[in-house]
Amino acid sequence: MGKRIVFVILAVCFLLFSLFFVYSSAMSHEPVPSKRLVENSVRDNGLHSFGPVEGAFLHTPKNYGFYNDHRFYVVEQSLGNHEKLSSWYAVIETGEALTAEEEAALQLYAKKENPLNGLEYKSKHKMRVYQNGEVTKEEWLLKAVFSSDEDKYLSFVPLANPGNSGFNLFAEGYEKLLDF
């Protein structure tokens, strides 16, 4: 009788541990959108997978990036689970040089608002947000590089208000898209 109770308790503990392990594994796994589905949605082939992107222009802040030589595409990270979001994405075009007027305005903004200290602006990029094939938002973004400890990071922030959020790319973003 005592062995049965110990065996039942061990079985229940094993079952609880197994359920916890499966649950924690499922919660830590981030879905990755299908490259083929993204290429079909954006009507562009030959895309390279970029990785996670934190963003403010799509439905959720958890996004995923794909790129080629001319464009950087940002889609919902949960695209594989919610195909209704497959028609909602952002396209960032290759950069253009900042004009002297824009650089002067950014310096003035940095002195006035002070959130931009330590940022280096590389270029400006046209961004379009598409939903169901229609452009729902179009604006210029600044490609900004900032340092934290020994790492460098890259962000695309709105040119009209550089203090607002845009798309944040992490260490690999700096390396892959610095010359974009």
pLDDT in tens, the chain (180 residues): 677 787 777 666 666 666 665 555 554 455 667 777 777 777 788 888 888 888 888 877 888 888 888 899 888 876 555 555 567 889 999 989 888 988 888 877 777 765 555 677 889 999 999 888 889 999 999 888 887 777 788 888 888 887 778 888 876 777 778 778
CB of 53 within 8 A of CB of 63? yes
Q: How far apart are CA 33 and CA 129, in angstroms?
A: 18
The one-letter amino acid code at 146 reads F
126 membership: H or E segment, kind and range = strand 120-131
Q: If you compute the radius of gyration of the chain from its CA atoms, what whole number of angstroms results?
A: 22
> What's the Cα-to-Cα distance from 91 to each of 42, 54, 85, rounded to whole Å?
9, 15, 15
Domain boundaries, the chain: 1-30, 35-177
**DSSP tally for the chain: helices H, then strands E:** 4, 8
Predicted TM-score (pTM) of this structure: 0.74
